[in-house]
Amino acid sequence: MSARKPTFYKAIALYESGVRALQRHDYDAGAQAFRSVLQRYPEERELLERARLYLRVCERETAQRPAGPQTPQERVYAATMALNAGDADTALNHLQRALDQDPENDHAHYILAVTLTSRDQPEKALEHLRRAVTLNPDNRSLARQDPDLEGIRGRHEFRTILDSVPVAANRRSRGRR
């Protein structure tokens, strides 16, 4: 048995990091590792074919992945994450797109009310809170306890929304943040 070159072990380590990334579904990192094996260690023929095969898998998976949130639910989730990160502009963008796709999405209206409250736009916030509660009366109890709505809680219309909004005929429940 012949002794291995030191580069062989470096190539194996890089290849294995690509395999671990692939197993984690981190296709970008996997592709980068497999490309590095192909570029840095062309003399390691044993690894090249497997690295090419796994690189094709990573490239296929990244090509099939949409660039961002696509469904209203994904957009509301992305908006919630953006809002929690302090990025109200991105949150508003996601929420508007969610409502463009599904104007009756009570959760999008609710998170929009939260976002607008954080941007000190109480009239618009109350309008979307009213819509959220009309679409799904369960939002009423959520709004009563939500500290993110503190900026509008003292307004008369806030209390009116929580106390007198009629139950919608088409009630839909959404996952909560």
Q: What angle do CA 115, 91, 168 make, to 5 degrees?
A: 60
Residue 67's pLDDT is 67
Instruction: Identify the weakest region by mean pLDDT among 33-42, 68-77, 97-106.
Output: 68-77
CA angle at residue 50 from 46 to 55, to 5 degrees? Answer: 140
Task: Tell whether the model's pLDDT for residue 56 goes beyond 70.
Answer: yes
Residues 6+ apart with CB under 8 A from 116: 122, 124, 125, 128
CATH of range 72-164; options 2.60.40.10, 1.10.1200.10, 1.25.40.10, 1.10.20.10: 1.25.40.10
Is residue 135 a contact partner of residue 107, using CB atoms and an 8 Å limit? Answer: no
* pTM of the complete model: 0.59
Residue-range domain boundaries for the chain: 6-64, 72-164
pLDDT for residue 61: 86
pLDDT, one tens digit per residue, over 83-107 is 988 899 999 999 999 999 999 999 9
**H-only helix segments in the chain:** 6-23, 27-40, 45-64, 72-84, 88-101, 106-118, 122-135, 138-145, 150-153, 156-164
